[in-house]
Structure 1
Amino acid sequence: MTVPVIGALESNTAPILDVAGLRIGYRDKSGLRTVVHDIDFQVRAGEVVALVGESGSGKSSTAQAVIGLLPEGGLLQQGTIRLNGEEIGGWPQRRLDSIRGSVISLVPQDPGNSLNPVRTIGDQVAEILVVHGRASGAAARVQAIDLLERVGLSQPQLRAKQYPHELSGGMRQRVLIAIAMALKPSLIIADEPTSALDVTVQRHILDLIDDLRREYGTAVLLVTHDLGIAVDRSDRLIVLQHGCIQEQGRTADVVRHPQSAYTRRLLADAPSLNVGPQRIPARPIASVPQPADDIIVVDGLVQDFGHDGDADRFRAVDDVSFRVRRGSTHAIVGESGSGKTTTIRIVSAFQRPTSGKVVIDGLDLSSLRGETLRLFRKKIQLVYQNPYGSLDPRQTITTIVEEPLLNFERLPRRERLAKVAATLDRVKLPAEVFQRRPHALSGGQRQRVAIARALVLDPQILVLDEAVSALDVTVQAQILDLLDELQRELGLTYLFVSHDLAVVRQIADTVSVLNGGRLVETGTIDDVFSNPQSPYTRELIDAVPGKKFPRVIDSTISAG
């Protein structure tokens, strides 16, 4: 196929990285399976090139091949990988070790799994200096502290003595960047470097990579499924699908004039990239409160952990109040530790608060006990974040969705299975998957199963806990469309918990913003996004990626 290349290259200088005719395969019991097909691209000094695409597009395999870290069974079938003009594609691991860190470095995705838990931070940063003969002993430790300070860690001398578990996710990612930048390499591969981080921490980390790139002239190959980040942070975009480049070019040109149908669909499905009229609320939100139509009332909620007098007593939720209109979507947003999860556990009657009141459809949860509490759980159901971990891998899809009926309703088997089938059909799953197990389904299909399991009891309220955050952008858009359709058909009320304000803006009618367990802002989506009153809310909104080249939503944009 002819791959569209939009816009002339900015420079005629020799590229730091030159990939040509790259083909990658994986060998398994069934033979050799090719996952990357004859791709070509270049990265120049000081440039950020973003590899974007959905799961299975080949972007991570491409990055792993460049640094020589393909997983077991991975094979560079053909093509060349030139780093500073030298072919490295066929180098053995020992020779690659000599340039990893010094010429080419990796900032991996998960800071929790990328640092040694039994070694101090200072030792791990100093190690790269020692291995490459740049420093040793006390000199290496001093340089390690300097690097920790350079990447913006507070109290770097203290951090150097700490272990990874004593640092936050953002701090650990800064440590990985310090290691990656220690020897001022020519090229850094940043593989989903912020996907596990809150939006404001994400922005700080990406700013840091940008600052160091400009200072050292380092080239960056940014691997990400987040189009908002790719658009904001890259000079050029490479769009991959099924291991093939669909198009590449200057980021501004690709965003404004996408040539391939796949790129147009990706851009149209990315909430952070599109601005335009807000969704029509499931039910109009009246300006004058009407308490009789509030299906969820939370008043003065407080949740403490620990016992009175304990030094480590902790207040996770501190005087939180909000109301949710029947048939509407209310979002709870905030970063890790804001109190979102504790709040929804209380609203769902999985734990009792220290003080305050929760009323669901006229029922005061503090009055529920025993069988009354058990039957209440039919009214409110949860859909969890991870469709890979929330379904029993040993059960068929039918059994998974049937299980709540066995717990709550004594229906004849034929009637029960008919209801399961009808519910799976409602979430648009084909009949051929009903007897499969979760591993045979895609992530989007699994999340549809999770939604069906929640719907089979005919609840009034769904609590959606980061229910689309683990999904690719196009699958995410499909699930959001499904949720909107179900709400309109069934009159459902959604309590939507998320750290992604772009998604919240798309799906919610009203929103509550939590910070450190306290409610800092609440109101309609239009009011909060257009005129935020809290500095924290403004910071969250400002940190949403995708503002560099805003696109106006147009029904024709995803055509083709």
Structure 2
Amino acid sequence: MSLLEVRDLAVSYDGRRAVEGVSFTVEPGEVVAVVGESGSGKSTTAHAIIGLLPGNAAVESGRVLLGDADLATWSQRRLRTVRGARVGLVPQDPSTSLDPVKTVGAQIGEVLRLHGRRDRREVRARVLDLLARVGLPDPETRARQYPHELSGGMRQRVLIAIAIALGPSLIIADEPTSALDATVQRRILDLLDDLRAESGTAVLLVTHDLGVAAGRSDHLVVMKDGGIVEQGRTSEVLAAPRAEYTRRLLADAPALSARPFRDPPAADEPAVVVRDLVREFRVGRRPFRAVDGVSFEVARGTTHALVGESGSGKTTTARTVVRFARPTSGTVTVTGAPDGRGFRRHVQLVHQNPYGSLDPRQTVGEIVEEPLRNFGAGDRATRRARVADLVERVALPEDVLTRRPRELSGGQRQRVAIARALAAGPELLVLDEAVSALDVTVQAQILDLLDGLQRELGLTYLFISHDLAVVRQISHTVSVMNEGRIVETGTTRQVFTDPRHPYTRELLAAIPEPVR
């Protein structure tokens, strides 16, 4: 008998079908990965299994068999006896999944107390054991800390500790590493593998990253538009995918694609020169040096990537280049950029999150036109013609001009952000994690768009990313940052094929790849 069997599951939101006809099984000790883009129904399927759908959603039909029990027919009160005890959940975002006003130890202990553990000493001992088991150093100190005092990777480990506290036979991990740096992602996935090997726990891994699924799963379920388009042994699906959609996911996954390196063309002069850059922040009475003696050059018409984990100093460096922050010492020279207000016409920034960087009250047409109005470029008719051209250039349909950001997908919003950045005719674009929040297929489309715009307009890019698989695909040259310093720099080919620094080798080793 399978540990979990989902049969013909159908789920609707406000009467609209979001999942239909979904069937798969999870065997004891097996890792099953459910992959697909946003809106494919993968998270809805996972949440339906344990009755955690939002109030406007309902299971319309189908069965969710955990052993002999059909969870689809159970009340919320009865489902609470299963959650944690037999099925553990590791949610996607630790920043919103943990209570900010309770200590880490109290939150793990709460799970134990809800399921009948009353002895305070026993609960405390179990909490410390769990924190140690998920690899957190100094469990006694961590137990007394609040979530904001821990890094993203540490918070995710706390969520795993909560999920395994009662020894469940199945863990549902819903995008457990999507917000994490590559090295932290690898450690979290290694931890789940270790726990599975130790206790025989099965894992249902929900992810949009086919690279992660390829290296970590036994069985693959590919979802699109609320249904399953393909499933089977992971190795077999990867070797001979039957569905066109699966083949597209494979081609778009940066970690699995084998695109050639982009060798830098010969350039007469650099577009950006950074020399001995230092940027300090005041933390209490002592200065904190976020950027420490950074130097690099970006050749005109090429893409230079700054890579590193969170806290490495790459975003602070980028903000200094675009003059959103002043250097404590050192120099940043952008060739040809005037001082004052004209600098913004020459240098533009594309933010990571198009949800937050676009004004929700404006139409797309107004958003893209705004830089033109600010710089007094042309009359109204000229500006509107320019806006229409920009929207077409980033491959958006004309009808988006009258729509607002909330009516667009994430990939469409990022295209709007790029069109806005191009409006003033800049020569340098600084892209700060501009594709990290996107599904792999949308990510590939944006990277292709940036490549085409660079070839067509001669743009120079400073590309900030923690994802080396993406950097390999888009950049000509790379600087690797760690703790505020550049530890290695060179052409992308050199850095990827012959890394010299141990930190670079660690980053490269963290790129997901098929291992099963």
State TM-score, norm by structure 2.
Answer: 0.98
**How far, CA to CA, are the matches of 1:471 and 1:410 in structure 2?**
32
**Structure-to-structure mapping, 1:182-201, within 5 angstroms:** 182-201=165-184
Structure 2 residue 282 is the aligned partner of structure 1 residue 299: no
**How far, CA to CA, are the matches of 2:5 and 2:185 in structure 1?**
29
Show the counterpart of 1:170: 153
Structure 1 SS opposite 2:326? coil
Cα deviation, 1:453-503, whole Å, max 9, x if unaligned, reads: 011111101111111111111111111111111100100001111111101
Structure 2 SS opposite 1:458? coil
Runs of 5+ consecutive residues of structure 2 not aligned to the other structure: none
Show the counterpart of 2:334: 360
Show the counterpart of 2:296: 322
Show the counterpart of 1:70: 53
From 317, 322, 325, give the equivalent of 1:348.
322
Structure 2 SS opposite 1:475? helix
Structure 2 residue 75 is the aligned partner of structure 1 residue 92: yes
Structure 2 residue 196 is the aligned partner of structure 1 residue 213: yes
Show the counterpart of 2:6: 19
Letter in 2 for 1:440: E
**How far, CA to CA, are the matches of 1:137 and 1:61 in structure 2?**
37
**How far, CA to CA, are the matches of 1:547 and 1:537 in structure 2?**
20
Residues 215, 514 of structure 2: 8 Å contact kept: yes
Letter in 1 for 2:251: A
Residues 20, 40 of structure 1: 8 Å contact kept: yes
Change (3 A) 1:327 1:394: same
Structure 2 SS opposite 1:330? strand
Cα deviation, 1:419-465, whole Å, max 9, x if unaligned, reads: 11111111111111111111111111111111110111111011111
**Structure-to-structure mapping, 1:499-514, within 5 angstroms:** 499-514=466-481
Could you list the runs of 4 or more consecutive aligned residues of structure 1 that deviate by over 4 angstroms after TM superposition?
Answer: none
Show the counterpart of 1:421: 388
Letter in 2 for 1:65: A
Letter in 2 for 1:360: V
Structure 1 SS opposite 2:355? coil
Cα RMSD after superposing both structures: 1.3
**How far, CA to CA, are the matches of 1:95 and 1:295 in structure 2?**
64
Residues 129, 136 of structure 1: 8 Å contact kept: no
Alpha-carbon offset, residue 362 of structure 1: 5.1
Change (3 A) 1:424 1:24: same
Structure 2 residue 371 is the aligned partner of structure 1 residue 404: yes
**How far, CA to CA, are the matches of 1:215 and 1:84 in structure 2?**
22
Cα deviation, 1:136-184, whole Å, max 9, x if unaligned, reads: 2121111111111111110001111111111111111111111111111
Show the counterpart of 2:413: 446
Cα deviation, 1:363-401, whole Å, max 9, x if unaligned, reads: 6xxxx7xxx321111101011111111111111111101
**How far, CA to CA, are the matches of 2:154 and 2:352 in structure 1?**
24
Alpha-carbon offset, residue 134 of structure 1: 3.7
Letter in 2 for 1:425: E
Residues 147, 182 of structure 1: 8 Å contact kept: yes
Residues 427, 482 of structure 1: 8 Å contact kept: yes
**How far, CA to CA, are the matches of 2:325 and 2:103 in structure 1?**
37
From 528, 532, 543, give the equivalent of 2:495.
528
Structure 2 SS opposite 1:274? coil
**How far, CA to CA, are the matches of 2:259 and 2:301 in structure 1?**
23
Show the counterpart of 1:490: 457
Alpha-carbon offset, residue 73 of structure 1: 1.1
**How far, CA to CA, are the matches of 1:119 and 1:396 in structure 2?**
41
Alpha-carbon offset, residue 196 of structure 1: 1.3
**How far, CA to CA, are the matches of 1:410 and 1:47 in structure 2?**
60
Change (3 A) 1:276 1:345: closer
Alpha-carbon offset, residue 85 of structure 1: 2.3
Structure 2 SS opposite 1:338? coil
Show the counterpart of 1:7: none
Letter in 2 for 1:412: D
Show the counterpart of 2:143: 160
**How far, CA to CA, are the matches of 2:391 and 2:315 in structure 1?**
28
**Structure-to-structure mapping, 1:305-316, within 5 angstroms:** 305-306=281-282, 311-316=285-290
Residues 48, 235 of structure 1: 8 Å contact kept: yes
From 219, 223, 237, give the equivalent of 1:254.
237
**How far, CA to CA, are the matches of 1:362 and 1:493 in structure 2?**
12
Cα deviation, 1:113-151, whole Å, max 9, x if unaligned, reads: 111111111111112222112452121111111111111
Residues 308, 482 of structure 2: 8 Å contact kept: yes
**How far, CA to CA, are the matches of 1:53 and 1:454 in structure 2?**
30
Letter in 2 for 1:508: S
Structure 2 residue 110 is the aligned partner of structure 1 residue 127: yes
Letter in 1 for 2:270: D
Residues 16, 85 of structure 1: 8 Å contact kept: no
**How far, CA to CA, are the matches of 1:410 and 1:83 in structure 2?**
64
From 263, 267, 287, give the equivalent of 2:246.
263
Residues 36, 243 of structure 1: 8 Å contact kept: yes
Letter in 1 for 2:271: I
**How far, CA to CA, are the matches of 1:323 and 1:135 in structure 2?**
61
Letter in 1 for 2:12: G
**How far, CA to CA, are the matches of 1:172 and 1:440 in structure 2?**
33
Cα deviation, 1:195-249, whole Å, max 9, x if unaligned, reads: 1111111111111111011111111100000111111100000000001100100
Alpha-carbon offset, residue 546 of structure 1: 2.1
**How far, CA to CA, are the matches of 1:276 and 1:306 in structure 2?**
44
Residues 227, 546 of structure 1: 8 Å contact kept: no
Cα deviation, 1:226-285, whole Å, max 9, x if unaligned, reads: 111111100000000001100100001001100001101111111111224224x4x51x
Structure 2 residue 18 is the aligned partner of structure 1 residue 46: no
**How far, CA to CA, are the matches of 1:497 and 1:232 in structure 2?**
26
Alpha-carbon offset, residue 547 of structure 1: 4.3
Alpha-carbon offset, residue 504 of structure 1: 0.4
Cα deviation, 1:57-92, whole Å, max 9, x if unaligned, reads: 000000000011011111110011000222111100
Show the counterpart of 1:241: 224
State TM-score, norm by structure 1.
Answer: 0.90
Letter in 1 for 2:44: S
Residues 259, 473 of structure 2: 8 Å contact kept: no
More divergent stretch after superposition (392-401 vs 354-363): 354-363
Residues 427, 448 of structure 1: 8 Å contact kept: yes
Structure 2 residue 103 is the aligned partner of structure 1 residue 136: no
From 339, 347, 350, give the equivalent of 1:383.
350
Structure 1 SS opposite 2:188? helix
Cα deviation, 1:509-544, whole Å, max 9, x if unaligned, reads: 000110010010100000000011110000000001
